[in-house]
Structure 1
Amino acid sequence: MSGLLTYLPFFKNKQPPLPELLETDDIIPVHLFDDSAAARGIVLVWTYKFDDVLDPGKLHAALSQLFQMDGWRRFSGRFRYRPDGSLEIHVPNICSEERPAVHFTKEHHDSPMTEHPLAAKLPRPTGQVTTYSGPREFCSLGLGPGTPRNINDFVFSGKPQFCLHVQTFTDGTLVSVTHSHISTDLMGLASILEAWSLVLAGKPEAVAPMVGYREDAFDGLWNPAPKQRHVLADKVLDGWRLKYWGLRSLYDSWRCPDVQSRTLCVPRHTMENIMQEARSHIVVEVDDATSSGSSKPFISEGDVLTAVACRMLAQYHGPGSGRELATIMALDPRSRARSVFRQDAAYVQNSPTNIYFFCRANEALELPLGKLARLVREAIATQAAEEQLKAAASLSLESMRATKMPVIFGDKNMATQFMSNWTKGNLAEKMDFSPAVVRDAAPGLGKSKRGHPVYYHASDPSHNAVLVISSIFVVVGKDYDGNTWFSISLPGKMWSDLMDYLERFA
């Protein structure tokens, strides 16, 4: 809460002087959906654990080289405030030791990671459904000296948008990347990791062109105007209804102060059992046109996990509750709106699109898991069509210009949760640091791939956010043993319900 007070005019502290302006800098805009209220409040510290010992200098040199290439040099720029409070980026004409492309720090430990008081506690799979301390407990591992912790730190320090901190041990490496959410979303970060790996491998010519250096590459989602009306246009939450929902959500959060953020690991066999049960609830559909073929409707693992999250939220509100539940799912339009985005280019920005799934609490408890997952799939299929993505982006454009927030759909009394699935980012596979390996992983540590992380998470050191949504499910992805990893924030009762539910399939 104390961090929030600095944003109130009568609590403002005297700010340090801004770094000197250089006439040789290229001044470029921060795109509309990058400078949202939410993005400003989030700094992400990504920590990737490798069982290999890596060369920090090679990692730094490759990332610095990437951020000095055409288009990609946007990320060597520094955030600056304009007189009206909006942001712009000042890109150095030439990067130097005084103004580097990347803020780089490193630390060497002449001991194994297992002897470090904090790194030794990083999660490892146990073969059972297991929870661990959440990513925030390990945030200090990723913060090197001088690493910014909030947007003001970035602006007033004059640091570049990306900070790299590498800690080497005798039995592995921790590679941490810190950036403001203003710089990119998950899929944009995936493009950076892939390009970084290519430069590290000596293949800069293979790096995809970065679109959006100066112009907003997402403009094609709303210009020209969409041809369709959004299917949820009648459920836009605005005006007094939006304020009512926000206040009620804050009250709900206040009533459950025991929100706990943890990392969860679900073994392969447990996920397989959950999927088997869900698919057993799906009725085979007969093709009436030919009367010959039949097939089961498709549901993905992500659909089923979303259905599980809905069931937990419904159980939290009680079996007799008819309250509307809204699950907001982050969705990347880059691969879906093919008339807007080239598939051979990198778009490193923040996406304006989400998918909404609505159901009543009692319905979420009464429906079999597979049928609930099927409804999730139907919502995604409808709202993820290209013209619907454009319609949603167009509505969010109006909302962003008015409130600095994307559009929210739903009812003023709804209970809301957020679901983000990072599996499509495939970060562990795209992050190929094998050219920087100086010592291979020791045998017998479990399945791994040379030069690829065996575990990763993201945390936020700023502590500035007021959570109106206390139920957050993030599917981090699968490791090389097939375990599925999650980063989840839930009230204590929901955690108990979730663990009891998962144990049924263990």
Structure 2
Amino acid sequence: MLSTSILWSGLAKSSGVGRVTYKRIPIPHVATDDVIPCDGLDDTRTVRTIIMGCEFRFNEVLDCDKIHAALARLLEIGEWRKLGGRLRLNKASGRLEFHVPDQFTRGRPAVRYSHIRYHDIDMEQHPRMAAHFPHPTTTPSVQSGFDQYIDLLEPDQSLHKFEDYLCSDHPLLSLHTLSFRDATVLVLKWPHAMTDAMGRHALLRNWSYVLAGHIDKVQPLMGGLEHKGSDVTTEIAKLDPEPPSELEVAGHQRLTGIGMLLFIMRFIWVLLFGGKVVPKVLFVPAATIKVLKDEAQRDLGISEGLAKRKELPPRLSEGDILTAWLARLSLLSSSTRSVAIMTVVDMRRRLRCIFGQQPGPTGPVWVQNLTSVAMAHTTVQSLLTNPLGETARHIRSAVQEQTTPEFVARCVRSFHSLPPSQRPGLYAKSDSILVAVSNWHCAKFFDVFDVSRAIVAGDHRPSSSGIQWPTESRPGKPVAVVPVGFSDNPELRNSWGVMGKDAAGNYWMQGMCTEATWKAIEKELGRLGRGER
């Protein structure tokens, strides 16, 4: 167990001239901790800066202590202990590490847990939550982001930066819960270095197994204590049979030299004068999704006659159409420039030769960062004037070309060849506006997270707010999943996180855009809601 001096050594006092300054000191290594090096994709400059979070709303009263106990129990099982570790930086190698206590105790728990009770009021009777927590609407809507009530989502706001983890003995995972008379909100928080969306899918699934009493179903975690030092991305890189060469993505080489300098200068100019980025939630009902799909299909000329002649264009997924639509929305208030649309893709589902069938209820899981990016290049003018289906098809082609096992392996091998300070590379024009879309629908957060065993019997009562939550939702399944950003990262400008579909087929997503862009988006949604296209 750590001594009090170590637990509180995050701040060290030193004397300055005429004032007192404080220097942050990383927590010393504990000799009994197991040390697991971070895999390559877990330790990039961008990933280090991001502290992530996610809210789950349940329209039932839940036993939060039971839910916490199940998560803590999961992190005691086999290789899952890795997720109960502490984030540390190896000064000699410059690499991140997970330091896992040999035994979790009250002083060094597997999970940082807190619980606030509002048992005497409904959730919509809480002034802040009623005013700002996102909810379903009959037409597409822009709603408040987490910044309007972030102080309610964490107990002491002490973990907002990468250094906050290095200079404290807090575990990777934090669970904060809020109980109301008619609902419960669970807030999960972690550094991005821990995992990506599909890793969270595995975490939620196996957490649900333990809560339901099915410890025998818990899937083995790869990359844990028994595999420390073995990076699965090394195996991925071997899938590329071609000799090493300069990587080219969608006809673009990695920006370097003058090109990269110009890109950085434009980016800094936008940061200074382009308006502050504001997080907001975009709720899109199932009926609107159908309208967008029908529009994209018409754009591509899919008709009964073409179908009979088997002259169909590449199949478009909802993800392709949403990415095209969100990219268009992001730039409604922008000038004419090049655009690079970045679609975040999961490696697990595309490299079955290494990962097997993912995601699935059985077999091993990898709770870490295993994503790549597919780049589609266009211009603001083309994005705003071309038919939606045409842009979606362009994105679909880019994804198909850049997610083959060989191409993913080539990207990983190129990643390994670069020094940490240059990772990841940017394959775009020097004047490109970056638009990033990370679609987590495949992670099925609304489906896989099941806390029905924690429902408090007899305490459920319908909400009096008048909000029409989907009646298709099963008890114990989340009715809203909302991302939370606990770190201030300017690179997230024009970025979207698509949380996925709820039980009624409605999409929940969050965007990082300027107020000017949000106003333009609201006008566009108004036209869409009135059937004007």
When normalised by structure 1's length, the TM-score is 0.89
Question: What's the counterpart of residue 308 of structure 1?
Answer: 325
- Residue 102 in structure 1 maps to residue 107 in structure 2: no
8 Å Cα contact 1:217-1:347 kept in structure 2: no
Aligned residues: 488
Percent identity over the alignment?
27
CA offsets, 1:5-31, max 9 Å, x none?
xxxxxxx96335554543221112122
Question: What's the counterpart of residue 14 of structure 2?
Answer: none
Once the two structures are superposed, the pairs formed by residues 231-380 of structure 1 within 5 Å of their partners are 232=249, 234-284=252-302, 293-313=310-330, 315-318=332-335, 321=336, 323-343=337-357, 344-380=363-399
Q: Distance in 2 between matches of 1:231 and 1:286?
A: 39
Match for residue 40 of structure 1 among 24, 48, 61: 48
SS of residue paired to 2:78: coil
Which runs of 5 or more structure 2 residues have no equivalent in the other structure?
1-19, 358-362
Compared CA separation, residues 257 and 89, structure 1 to 2 (3 A)? same
Moved more, 492-501 or 332-341: 492-501
Moved more, 192-201 or 82-91: 82-91
8 Å Cα contact 1:44-1:459 kept in structure 2: yes
How far has the Cα of 1:284 moved from its partner? 4.4
- Residue 88 in structure 1 maps to residue 101 in structure 2: no
Once the two structures are superposed, the pairs formed by residues 197-216 of structure 1 within 5 Å of their partners are 197-213=208-224, 214=228, 215-216=230-231
Question: What's the counterpart of residue 475 of structure 2?
Answer: 450
Q: Distance in 2 between matches of 1:441 and 1:222?
A: 52
SS of residue paired to 2:346: coil
Match for residue 73 of structure 2 among 65, 71, 74: 65
Q: Distance in 2 between matches of 1:431 and 1:115?
A: 26
Q: Distance in 1 between matches of 2:148 and 2:241?
A: 44
8 Å Cα contact 2:324-2:395 kept in structure 1: yes
Q: Distance in 2 between matches of 1:298 and 1:70?
A: 42
8 Å Cα contact 1:211-1:345 kept in structure 2: yes
Compared CA separation, residues 86 and 27, structure 1 to 2 (3 A)? same
Q: Distance in 1 between matches of 2:385 and 2:86?
A: 52
Question: What's the counterpart of residue 12 of structure 2?
Answer: none
Match for residue 415 of structure 2 among 376, 386, 396: 396
How far has the Cα of 1:490 moved from its partner? 1.8
CA offsets, 1:251-297, max 9 Å, x none?
12322214332111122212211211111111349999x99644453
Q: Distance in 1 between matches of 2:115 and 2:332?
A: 46
Compared CA separation, residues 67 and 287, structure 1 to 2 (3 A)? farther
How far has the Cα of 1:89 moved from its partner? 1.8
CA offsets, 1:206-246, max 9 Å, x none?
12211111122232221365538755274211233223212
8 Å Cα contact 1:79-1:90 kept in structure 2: yes
Counterpart residue type for residue 37 of structure 1 = R
Q: Distance in 1 between matches of 2:328 and 2:177?
A: 40
How far has the Cα of 1:60 moved from its partner? 1.3
How far has the Cα of 1:384 moved from its partner? 1.2
- Residue 487 in structure 1 maps to residue 510 in structure 2: yes
What is the root-mean-square deviation of aligned Cα atoms in Å?
2.6
How far has the Cα of 1:468 moved from its partner? 4.4
Q: Distance in 2 between matches of 1:18 and 1:385?
A: 41
Moved more, 135-144 or 48-57: 135-144
Compared CA separation, residues 497 and 209, structure 1 to 2 (3 A)? same
8 Å Cα contact 2:119-2:180 kept in structure 1: yes
When normalised by structure 2's length, the TM-score is 0.85
8 Å Cα contact 1:16-1:156 kept in structure 2: yes
TM superposition outliers: structure 1 runs of 4+ over 6 Å: 285-288
Q: Distance in 2 between matches of 1:310 and 1:457?
A: 20
8 Å Cα contact 1:397-1:406 kept in structure 2: no
SS of residue paired to 1:74: helix
Q: Distance in 2 between matches of 1:25 and 1:341?
A: 29
- Residue 117 in structure 1 maps to residue 140 in structure 2: no
